Amino acid sequence: MAEPELVIRRATLTDLEALTAARIALFTELGELPEGFATNTFATACSIQLGSMMSSAGASAWLAFSPDGAACASAILLDYPRLPSPRNPRTREGYSMNVYRAHGFQPRNDEMEWVL
């Protein structure tokens, strides 16, 4: 019997809670949240800003879901305007951030490229 597959999809504004939870989990695992940190205030600020950025095409995000439907990985790409230069005529550039894989989640080998 084949293993159930990881579901990867582009996130929408309805996914802000899952994206924000992944961001909090990332900083928690990195030990970046000091004692007494106002996590709820931070989560609200992140959700508002990310929602605004996604609404204006300033950010795109993706989520991966494990076979049981739980969000297990995320990635956010920020889109920035830039001035062209003689060596680089592009007027947009991206910044990949908040790439997170839930602690304990173990993707299959063929899923590793996206999840990492």
Instruction: Look at residue 13 in the predicted model and tell me its pLDDT.
Output: 97
- Read off the DSSP letter of residue 99: E
How large is the average pLDDT for residues 64-72? Answer: 88
> For residues 66 and 6, is the Cβ–Cβ distance under 8 A?
yes
Q: 88-115 pLDDT, tens per residue?
A: 999 999 999 888 888 666 655 554 455 4
Instruction: Look at residue 108 in the predicted model and tell me its pLDDT.
Output: 54
pTM score of the predicted model = 0.81
Q: 18-63 pLDDT, tens per residue?
A: 999 999 999 998 999 888 899 999 999 999 999 999 999 999 999 9
